[in-house]
Structures are given as C-alpha cells and as structure tokens.
Amino acid sequence: MKLARIKGLSETVVIWKHCLRNALIPVLTLWGVFVGNLITGAIVTETVFAWPGIGRLTYEAVIYRDFPLLQATIILKSIPDPDHQPRRRHPLCLCRSAHPAGLTMAHHERSPSDGTAVPPPRPRCGARSVATPRCRPAAHVPRALGPDRHHLGDRRHGVFAPLLAPYSPIDQTLRDKLLPPIWVDGRQRQVPPGPDAFGRDILSRLIYGARISLLVALLALTAAAASASPSASSRVTSAARSTAC
Amino acid sequence: MGGPAHYVLPVITLGAFLVAGFMRITRSAMLEVMEASS
C-alpha cells in the first residue's frame, strides 16, 4: 500500500485494489468454515423451500422413522471431508444406464448357488439419460462394481452425482423396500445403506441431496461475500477520507 | 429442482444470515491492513 501511494494512485484504488486483496484472506478462511455449516445445518431452510437436499432427507427420515436413512445422513454429516482420492472406478461405471424402467418390477431371480432371492437389477442413475451406442448396458456390469465403491463421507462427490450415483434417486422398486442394509443379516451387496420405505436407493438420494445442498451453500456464501466486501470497503474508504480531511 | 429462479430465495435467505459476519470480518481485516501499512 505504501508503494501504491508513492506511485501516486488514488486512495480509492489503493483501498479497493491493494487493501481489499490482502484483507480477503480471513474472509476466505471464514468462507471455508461456513460451507460445512451450511451443508449440514440447512434442515429448516431445505424443508421450507422444499429442496431435496441432505437436510430435508434428515427431516423426512426423522418424521417417517426411517432409521437406515437417518443413520446414513448422520454418517455423511459427521465424517469430515478428507482430502483423499476416490477409489479407482471401473470404466464401465462411467457409462450412463440404458435400463428401461420396466426392469424394476421384474420378478426376482433365484441365485443358482444358495437359492436365495436376488433382486432384479435396478435402473442406474439418470432417468433422463439416453442410451448411447458406446455405453454398455448396466446389466452386464459385474455386481462387485456396484455402489459399494463410493465413500459415504466425501461430500464433494455430490457435484458429480449423475456419474457417481449407482441408481436413480427417484426410481422406486417396491419389492426392495424391506431389504436390509449391508450391516444387517441378510444383507444385499448391491445396496449398502439399503432402500428406503418406498424402495428408493438411499445412497443415490444422499449423493443427489449433497449436490443440491453444496450448490446452494456455495451460492449463498458467494453472494454474502460479494455483497459484504464492497460494503465494508466503501465504509473504510469513507472513514479514511473523513480522517484525511 | 427447477431452474435458476428456484435458487433465488434460498440463496438470499442463507446469504443474508452471513452478510453481517462477512462484513465485520472484512472491515476489521481492512483496518488491520491499513494500520499495518501506515
């Protein structure tokens, strides 16, 4: 700032260009802190504005006593966002599904090994997706490459929800609605947290909800910082001018 | 979710809550920078 004043720049340019740039460092620190608070603490706002975000998922889980969904949302909120790389994904998982919706109501097949009922393959993410010739149908994807490849605690995955969600968040498979999660006896490998009361995949709903919560939180923080910084700068500028006079 | 118009009110609601804190931090940081350079 001294050099800027020595160069003969005006006080407005000194404050807005040189002083504000150095003063934004603690603002950016606070910005990062508020991101997590907004994502995890927007339960009331998401319920009022009817966003399908994480907070509304938590609210619905409490209201409907959907304990697996409640456990999944709490795990997602409580685990900090680690700076790690996601596991290596199979290239087939990047393809969007070409499954018709009718497959969801198909009869369960019987496993040839133990005779237990195996649920039909659920439609993968993106009900709006259109089959492309280079995409392999999801029925040929091995089940070992299913949704268990995801990290529940990484909220950044919500940005890439259409690519990462194993199933569509709104498709219902009523036959699967009572399937337990993988940590309960009789677990199903395909659905780590299990489906909810309507047969929708909880993991996919969490990923899509994280995307919406993350987007709104980032927009709100950007708007707040963009409106607060010029106001504070103008007040400081006017105070400096009055002091100089 | 709909288009960008559906984000206006939620963003204003959440952003207005944070404006005061951001403004306070920005003001104090700017005063600190100005005092350090003077």
Separation between Cα atoms, residue A86 and residue A89, nearest integer Å? 8
Among B14, B22, B38, beta carbon nearest to A38: B14
State pLDDT tens for residues A126-183.
444 444 334 334 443 333 333 333 343 445 555 566 777 777 777 777 777 767 766 6
* pLDDT score at B2: 66
Q: What is the pLDDT of residue A26?
A: 87
Kind plus residue range of the DSSP H or E element containing A230 = helix A202-244
Residue holding tokens 């019987």?
Answer: A110
Q: How many CB atoms lie within 10 A of CB A75?
A: 13
Within 8 A of A15 by CB-CB distance, chain B residues are: 30, 34
Q: Which residue has the higher pLDDT, A81 or B37?
A: B37
CB contact under 8 A, B14 and A20: no
B1-38 per-position pLDDT tens digit: 567 787 888 888 888 888 888 888 888 888 888 888 76
Residue A178 pLDDT: 67
How is residue A195 annotated by DSSP?
B
**Can you give the pLDDT at residue A223?**
87
* Selection from A155, A144, A149, A146 nearest residue A206 by Cα: A155
Contacts of A24 in chain B (CB under 8 A): 26, 29
Q: Do B30 and A217 touch (CB under 8 A)?
A: no
Across the interface, whether the CB atoms of A30 and B16 are under 8 A apart is answered no
Residue A171: what residue type? D
Q: Report chain A residues whose CB lies below 8 A from the CB of B24.
A: 232
- Give the SS3 label for residue A24: helix
SS3 content of chain A, % helix, strand, coil (to 5): 55, 0, 40
pTM: 0.56
> Could you give phi then psi for residue A109, rounded to 5 degrees?
-90, 165
User: How far apart are the C-alpha atoms of A238 and A44, rounded to whole Å?
Assistant: 39
Mean predicted confidence (pLDDT) in A190-208 = 75
List the one residue out of A202, A216, A242, A224 whose CA is nearest residue A61: A202
**What confidence tens digit (pLDDT) does each residue in A98-107 have?**
334 333 333 4
Of A45, A212, A240, the CB nearest to B1: A212
- Say yes or no: ipTM exceeds 0.85: no
- pLDDT of A105: 37
Dihedral angle, C-alpha B4, B7, B8, B14, nearest 10 °:
-150
Contact between A217 and B14 using a beta-carbon 8 Å cutoff: yes
Q: What is the CA radius of gyration of chain A?
A: 24
Mean pLDDT calculated for residue range A112-119 = 53
Residue among A45, A215, A220 minimizing CB distance to B18: A220
Q: Quote the DSSP letter at residue A197.
A: T
A187 DSSP 8-state letter: -
Of A162, A153, A156, which is closest to residue A93 (Cα–Cα)?
A162
- Tell if the CB–CB gap between A232 and B32 is shorter than 8 Å: no
